Chain A
Amino acid sequence: MKRDNNIQHIRELLEKYYLAETTREEEERLEAFFVGSYDSDIPEDLMSDRTYFTAMQELHPKLAEDEVPRDLIEKLDGIIELVPKNEQMNRTGKRGVILRYVSIAAAACIAIAVFFKLPTYTDSLITPSAENIADAKELIISKPPTMDETALLTQPEVDSKLSEENVHQNYTNKELASYGESDQTDGFVEITDPEEVRKIAEEIGNLLAHSATKSSEAIAQLSNSIESYKEITKTILQ
């Protein structure tokens, strides 16, 4: 009765087996049954399955521990001895990856910030600066006599001028007082000829204009490189 139950179970497993639905354990049970039974214990209609499972079992290499190469454990010990180094490399590797992502994020932040801020900078630096310089030139050129006058005054003279109320209308008392206090004449070359002052002022204006062009060029270059960083960031983010 027990044997019949067993055979019935084997038949069920076989059905599953040929549908490729058995687990590895069930397949082992089938192999064990067909290989480990006497011919007399196996029903006639299952003899073809016996041939099959015997062949299957023969396919697999003998898995005995003497198959394990003797030097394998030495190789494994070698790995364990070497790997503390390896492990550290691995860790810095991880840190490196994190750092890389952080720096990409930082670069992206800067690029975005600059992208939004840049128009304001260029507005104030490039476009109005040309006008500003013209204004500055005008200012400098139109004022030399007063500048000259005040710059050349010594403290007693200022005092005397103040007392005489002979002050140029453009200057308030406070301004004059501060000129006196800071002693502006020290270290300056005295320039008396208004024509020369005009020339120098013009030169200064030219210099200012030149450096403005230079810096606007630099800003253009900078915005170009920011543009390319933006592209790189975009590709990375994608």
Chain B
Amino acid sequence: MTSGEFKSILLPCYKRMYLTALAILRDHDDASDAVQDAITSLWQNHEELKIPDNPQAFCNRTMRNTCIDRLRSSSKRYFENIDNLGAIADGMNADTEASFTTTSAFISKLLLIFKEKQRKILILSIFSQLTNDEICEITGETPENVRTIISRGRKKIKEYLNNETGQ
């Protein structure tokens, strides 16, 4: 791929890359940094790259991998952000908080009933919508462990949510 091809084919995918990163990392600054990392690494190797059949899908895949690497090497800030949502839930004012925040806050607080390991896996699955395989890659857990934890978590959350709304 020439520099010109890189600029006309891959670079325009950056907006969707950003949104992919935002969905996973759930933080604007982190997402922005991650896009820059991904573009830097693509640019450094662009001469060896072939033009992908689906540039957008290719860029999104690269973006997801970059995010997974980030979460694997340092996920402290990510989990802190989610925990903060739970803290919001404690002092929540239903009139001022947007519904997005209240539901997020409610579920992040709900997740505190799980042990740390389970909680982290559930956060990655529920908030960032990562696949089981991606979660295995980040946490180093076995696929069967991850599947079992997510399965139990989903059932529990459904039960709690319905208790809450039923009351």
Contact = CB atoms under 8 A, between A and B. Distances in A.
Interface residues on B, range: 35 or more
Interface string A16-28: 0111110110010
Interface stretch (A68-76, A113-121, A145-153, A155-163): A68-76
B167 interface: no
B32 A20 contact: no
B147 A21 contact: yes
A63 B161 contact: no
Contacts of B147: 19-21
B148 to A, nearest CB: 8
Contact of A24 (B28, B39, B129): B129
A63 to B, nearest CB: 4
Contact of A20 (B18, B103, B154): B154
Interface in A47-75: 48-49, 51-52, 55-56, 58-65, 67-69, 72-73, 75
B54 interface: no
B151 A80 contact: no
Contacts of A21: 147
Q: Which of B148, B150, B157, B158 has the most CB of A within 10 A?
A: B158
Interface stretch (B7-15, B65-73, B86-94): B7-15
A20 B23 contact: no
A207 interface: no
A27 B23 CA distance: 16
B32 A56 contact: no
Interface in B29-68: 32, 35-36, 39-40, 43-44
B154 A55 contact: no
A83 interface: yes
B43 A79 contact: yes
25 contacts: A20-B148, A20-B151, A24-B129, A48-B162, A51-B158, A51-B161, A52-B154, A59-B100, A59-B107, A60-B23, A63-B22, A64-B19, A65-B15, A69-B18, A72-B14, A76-B14, A76-B35, A79-B36, A79-B40, A80-B6, A80-B43, A86-B40, A86-B44, A87-B43, A90-B44
Interface of A: 17-21, 23-24, 27, 48-49, 51-52, 55-56, 58-65, 67-69, 72-73, 75-76, 79-80, 83, 86-87, 90
Question: Which 5 A-B residue pairings sit nearest by Cβ, starting from the closest?
Answer: A20-B150, A58-B103, A20-B151, A52-B158, A63-B19
